[in-house]
């Protein structure tokens, strides 16, 4: 049996109790990447602990895949996928485009998801057959934008620097084809695809926890989310999310064009 929406609300509130008091405050930043910069803060670690505590208490038979505190029971039918702060760089920069991501996989496929942005008061939730956002006490259905060609599209990526040399030309083909390209929103960009405000997200180098909470949001809003090869996105990798199947097909064609 799938959890109630109220359980996702409880998760969001527990995580926000750890993240919000630390946002736009002086925090210690540790670097997880030798030779690069992959920041993590106390807010990341404590928020994931709070989420895992609730899941373990309510669903002890479920597995957990988390960014900060390891994995448990990944061979179980139900697995929770947690990124306590997706967009830690934005978090430590004081920019409100980070979010708490929680997804639920059933036999390897995303079936529910949430992106919570507690500073702006926006909570995006997807269940089988529905997707919605709550803000200012109002609930609004999510519907991705349809009927947009590649030449009319607004596209986002976290940064052009995330693409390795072998993938950069493919990304550049798409960026050159769209009407507008914007950078820097991490998980918030996928929520904007689901909301119908932008049309396309193209990224690479993502982990399962980067996408687990977002897949259902995009799909239940009417969009499409796959790897660049068109496969399921649950394990991360090079990812493209689109507002419509037609736009998705056009983006994949450019990404995979051999020149």
Say what the pLDDT of residue 35 is. Answer: 58
Query: Considering Cα of 206, then 209, then 39, then 32, what sign does the dihedral take?
Result: negative
Are domains 5-141 and 150-255 of this chain identical in fold?
Answer: no
Report whether 152 contacts 192 (CB < 8 A). Answer: no
Report whether 183 contacts 206 (CB < 8 A). Answer: no
Q: What is the fold of 150-255?
A: D-Maltodextrin-Binding Protein; domain 2 (3.40.190)
pLDDT over 90, % of the chain: 88
Q: Tell me the whole-structure pTM to 2 decimals.
A: 0.94
Of 136, 240, 255, 151, the closest CA to residue 193 belongs to 240
pLDDT at 197 exceeding the cut of 90: yes
Say what the pLDDT of residue 33 is. Answer: 58
Mean pLDDT value across residues 188-213: 98
The CATH H-level (homologous superfamily) assignment of domain 5-141 is Fructose-1,6-Bisphosphatase, subunit A, domain 1 (3.30.540.10)
Which pLDDT band, with edges at 50, 70 and 90, does 30 fall under? Answer: confident
Say what the pLDDT of residue 27 is. Answer: 76
Say what the pLDDT of residue 53 is. Answer: 98
Say what the pLDDT of residue 48 is. Answer: 96
pLDDT at 37 exceeding the cut of 60: no
Residue ranges per domain, the chain? 5-141, 150-255
Give the pair of three-digit tokens for residue 199. Answer: 């049309």
Say what the pLDDT of residue 135 is. Answer: 95
* Beta bridge partners of residue 82, listed in sequence order: 66, 102
The number of beta carbons lying within 10 Å of the beta carbon of residue 206 is 19
């Amino acid at each position: 049996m799938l959890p109630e929406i109220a359980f996702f609300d409880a998760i969001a509130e527990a995580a926000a109790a750890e993240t919000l008091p630390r946002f736009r405050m002086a925090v210690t930043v540790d670097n997880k990447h030798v030779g690069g910069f992959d920041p993590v803060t106390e807010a990341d670690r404590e928020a994931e602990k709070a989420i895992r505590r609730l899941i373990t208490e309510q669903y002890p038979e479920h597995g957990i895949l988390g960014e900060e505190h390891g994995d448990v029971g990944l061979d179980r039918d139900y697995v929770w996928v947690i990124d306590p702060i997706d967009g830690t760089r934005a978090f430590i920069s004081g920019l409100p485009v980070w979010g708490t991501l929680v997804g639920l996989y059933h036999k390897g496929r995303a079936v529910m998801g949430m992106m919570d942005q507690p500073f702006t008061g926006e909570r995006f939730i997807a269940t089988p057959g529905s997707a919605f956002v709550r803000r200012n006490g109002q609930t609004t259905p999510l519907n991705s934008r349809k009927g947009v060609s590649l030449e009319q599209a607004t596209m986002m990526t976290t940064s052009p620097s995330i693409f390795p040399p072998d993938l950069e030309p493919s990304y550049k083909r798409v960026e050159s084809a769209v009407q507008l390209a914007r950078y820097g929103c991490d998980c918030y960009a996928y929520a904007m695809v689901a909301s119908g405000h932008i049309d396309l997200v193209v990224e690479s180098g993502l982990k399962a926890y980067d996408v687990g909470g977002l897949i259902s949001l995009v799909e239940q809003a009417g969009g499409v989310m796959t790897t660049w090869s068109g496969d399921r996105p649950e394990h991360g990798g090079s990812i493209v999310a689109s507002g419509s199947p037609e736009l998705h097909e056009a983006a994949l064609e450019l990404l995979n064009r051999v020149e």
